A and B are shown apart, each in its own frame.
Chain A
């Protein structure tokens, strides 16, 4: 494990663990004044019980994005990919397809689109930032066209009242998350492929000299990302009562990227860990919860969230500025 994680990643993870514990303490302190000790503990338990379900889509998407970022690429289109998932789910539902088929559509749509991003990066030789920036706009448009063409009488949103269509997002989200996170961490610690992704992000020319097939490596990372985003998309869509592709998951990519970076993954590739990403998502989720309990002013919450992200990353960067400068000049 220690071989796979660089010192900055381990340090960031230590920060996040300490920060998450501090945030839990803040939440508990906020619950205490209006309740007895037992009542506060019980309410804290409720907050913790709902945590896996609420953060499952973001965490799965973040794990998928981590693999992509390791290779030195990025995917800015994940919010729009979720909108396409919502659109195909709505199409399936409106044609009375079996729920399992609807969930499979979500998985395939997300996997297919993220893999398409990888293929476009390879075929066109354009940076991933550009391809996925284009995807951010294009996939949102695709989702809107799909629901307009494929859902009879669509008037901006579609309500899904049947509970059976919401089982994965409501009842199984925690278990699916647990399994997916476990698989990702075991994959990272035991398999060669994640190391090669990190190597690709660290130095593409060194990998080429070593004889590695770079395009295939990059596409495999996008496929992995697509699989995890597909799972996240399925949970996200099946947790919504109303499907509105125009507004669905708007800004989702930003909070996912923030969590990945917060988890110690280098945004330029070559460094990071899935466990760090998991802690990054958890920290951001707990921070949002703490702000809900600690701040009555709903308008100030976003400012505090931004300040918190900047504070953690800025403090970490300023501590290692000297090292970074020396590396740059070597």
Chain B
């Protein structure tokens, strides 16, 4: 039911922006062409948010939250940018980036699981800390070695992003939905005391979840740098908000115990279509509105979030986790 509500919202959004942008959607062929173009444009830009949404869903399911995802992405990208482009980049920078990502995630996990710091507080602190480390690494510079790496740019294109997304969201999501690990995480988020009594290794599960979030931040950093080609100290600032909005919009409970990767993916698409649609509707808004339509983006994002969550609370109780 929840997925259906999100799908209907997505179709409505696409229909609204198609009519405003002046695209020819009067015939089935026109609709197909419009959707093909739209998704070819959307997927590469959306890849980092989609990858992070998968990790954030898992974190929220455990009744946690990770506010440091944007800073982790930036720090991993900054560390990778310290290496020269060339074939050796694949053997040095990329594995080191993965190590850094997993290390940052493990640090978050250790704060939450080992020291019992509330996740929102722990990751708020690490968000500031990691961004500070990113500034230490980058200074005021912008580095762009990524397009000199053979085959790297392909990952930022439509086909490369699609392959990565199919692997992470499709295959990963499918494995997750079939696994015992998922049930244990749902139990950890739903009732921590029950999880402990049931013999779930709580600390280990939390550490694994946050470490996975770090690994996905590394993958998102690859998607981001492969598309944009450059990184600086303020890269991906505010990305955490987009990711959390997408995941919550997708029906994952912030209190934990319920969440779906499919819902998060649909939520991310809703946010991205809104963003892109408002950009396309600029010509229409210049004629009809007294202000720039891009300013409505934030207003509509907020309304979409409240409306989505309200609909989920109204109709979501019929779904199983």
1/0 per residue, CB under 8 A from B, across A73-101: the answer is: 00000000000000000000000000000
- Among A127, A137, A299, A305, which residue has the most Cβ atoms of chain B within 10 A? A137
Quick check: B136 and A317 within 8 Å, CB to CB?
A: no
Once the chains bind, are A131 and B298 in contact (CB under 8 Å)? no
Q: Give complex CA distance A329, B192 in Å.
A: 9
Q: A299 to chain B: which residues have CB within 8 Å?
A: 132, 135-136, 138-140, 233
Q: Which of A142, A145, A307, A318 has the most CB of B within 10 A?
A: A145
Contacts of A300 in B (CB 8 A): 132, 135-136
Q: Are A309 and B128 in contact (CB under 8 A)?
A: yes
Query: Which chain B residue lies CB-closest to A314?
Result: B115
> Chain B, 105-139, contact with A by CB distance < 8 Å: what is the 0/1 string?
00000010001111011101111111111011011
Query: A145–B296 contact, CB under 8 A?
Result: yes
Q: Which of these binds chain B: A32-40, A118-126, A167-175?
A: A118-126
* CB <8 Å contact, A124 and B132: no
Known: A126-B310, A267-B120, A314-B115. A301 touches B302 (CB 8 A): no
Interface check A130, CB cutoff 8 A: yes
How many residues of B sit at the interface, in one of the four size bands?
A: 35 or more
Cα(A25)–Cα(B110), bound, Å: 32
Interface residues of B in 129-161 (CB under 8 A from A): 129-133, 135-136, 138-140
- Bound-state CA distance A17–B129 (Å) is 23
Q: Is B204 an interface residue (CB 8 A)?
A: no
Is A242 located at the chain interface by the 8 A CB criterion? no
| Cα distance A328–B63 in the bound complex, in angstroms | 15
The reply on B37 being an interface residue by CB < 8 A is no
Identify which of B115, B121, B126, B127 gathers the most chain A CB atoms within 10 Å of its CB: B121
- Contacts A133-B241, A133-B248, A300-B136: A148 and B116 contacting too (C-beta < 8 A)? no
Decide if B306 touches A306 in the complex (CB within 8 Å): no
When distances are taken between beta carbons in the complex, the residues of chain A under 8 Å from B124 are 254, 257-258, 261, 309
A112 in contact (CB, < 8 A): no
Taking Cβ atoms with an 8 Å cutoff, the residues of A that contact B are 120, 124-127, 129-131, 133-142, 144-145, 148-149, 254, 257-258, 261, 267-268, 297, 299-307, 309-310, 313-314, 317-318, 321, 324-325, 328-329
Closest 6 A/B residue pairs (Cβ): A138-B302, A303-B132, A306-B129, A141-B298, A302-B132, A141-B299
